[in-house]
Structures are given as C-alpha cells and as structure tokens.
Chain A
C-alpha cells in the first residue's frame, strides 16, 4: 500500500528546543492524523486535521493540514524529555470496499537530550 514520506527520519535535540517534522504524499487526503508511539505501546492520537489549511494545537503541539492536501506538518515547542518517541503521520481517504483507508508515514524518531 501507499506509504507517506516523513522527514526527518530522526532528530536529536536539546531539551527546550522546538521541533518541526513533516509528512508528504503524492495523493490528496481528506484527514491528516498525527500519532506518538512510545516503546512497547500502541500509537496514541495527538492531533486530527480535517480541512486544508487548518491549524490545530494540542498543548505544545501544533499541526497543519497543507493547502494542497498532500502534506502536513507537526511542531513541538519547548521540548521536554517525555516528548521522546516515534511520531507517525497518517492520511485518511475514502475506500469503496472498507469505508475508509488510512496510510501511515515512515515515522520520525525524536530524542530529547536533557
């Protein structure tokens, strides 16, 4: 199936720094989702975006639905050690057989150095 390209693949930052990551696709999506996965856990939904151009915040996290509907961005401000994990984007599109189809990004691994 289709896979979304995330960049960067990994990041090593100092505590307190801001973080930016993005997700791109060759196809348009109706919904963009951002997840965080801790080791040994399932992904946890952070932010959902429903409209092109939409900018949504969840605490120190801000995500944007690209106006072309082919990309999305996630920013984390003032990073803290518990931000460590792997961040995945996902795009949603209708599927005639199953109702909805979700495609996941390749992931961005974030390490925060205290």
Chain B
C-alpha cells in the first residue's frame, strides 16, 4: 500500500475564492486520481492525473474550474476555483498501485463554502 496525506484536512471558504488541495504520497506512483464525495454519497471521479501528461477530466468537470498539477511522481494539487456553496464536499486523492489495479485513498479534504 502507500501512505497518502492531504492538506488541508478541512477548510471553510468564502464564495468566489479558490482553494488548492495538496496530495503527497510516500512512494513514486504513476497514476493519481482526484474524487469528490458529497455527504452520504458515493465517489465521483473528477480527473486522472498521470505524471508527464495533462490531466484527463471526467464529463462534467473542466480544467478552468478544477485545475490540477502533477509536477512529479509523489505530489499533486487540485484547485477548486471560484467556489460556490455547491462545491462543498469531501475531496479525495488516490493512487493506483499493484500494476495500477488497486487504488489507495488519502484521508480527504472536507470543504465548506459559505
């Protein structure tokens, strides 16, 4: 498995501002993913962030709203831009291991937008 940390663990932000979430892994991984989880709901994939290529966004998510950086094999950031209350959610990063057939998750960032 892998040890994955996220910062911040939680934040309360004003409408219209942006927040950058960091994800750090204790080993080099090729595949990293960013998910959103609404309270009581399942996980929704925002984008896949493979090192050395542009992030691939899922339908309904765009780069202008959720820009992602992947500068190396142990780190990634997700920015939630121009936030609205609808962006209040838990944001999770994960990594693909074991030939990328398994995913391991970070502890999540709980975001509240007021």
Contacts and interface: CB of A to CB of B under 8 A. Distances in A.
Contacts, number: 64
Contact of A33 (B45, B50, B102): B102
Contact of B110 (A40, A98, A104): A40
B69 to A, nearest CB: 17
A14 interface: no
Interface string B91-114: 010101010111111111010000
Interface string A35-58: 100001111110010100000000
Interface in B55-85: 56, 58-59
A59 interface: no
Contact of B42 (A3, A30, A45): A3
Nearest to A103: B45
A90 B104 CA distance: 12
B12 interface: no
Contacts of A106: 42
Contact of A44 (B96, B100, B105, B110): B105
Nearest to B98: A48
A98 B31 contact: yes
A105 B44 CA distance: 10
Contacts of A66: none
B100 A99 contact: yes
A44 B2 CA distance: 11
Interface of A: 1, 3, 30-31, 33, 35, 40-45, 48, 50, 88, 90, 92, 97-100, 102, 104-107
A-B residue pairs, 5 tightest by C-beta: A42-B105, A98-B48, A31-B101, A104-B43, A42-B108
Given A35-B105, A48-B102, A88-B43, 15 more contacts: A1-B58, A31-B102, A40-B108, A40-B110, A41-B107, A42-B106, A43-B43, A43-B105, A97-B56, A98-B50, A99-B30, A99-B50, A99-B100, A100-B101, A106-B42
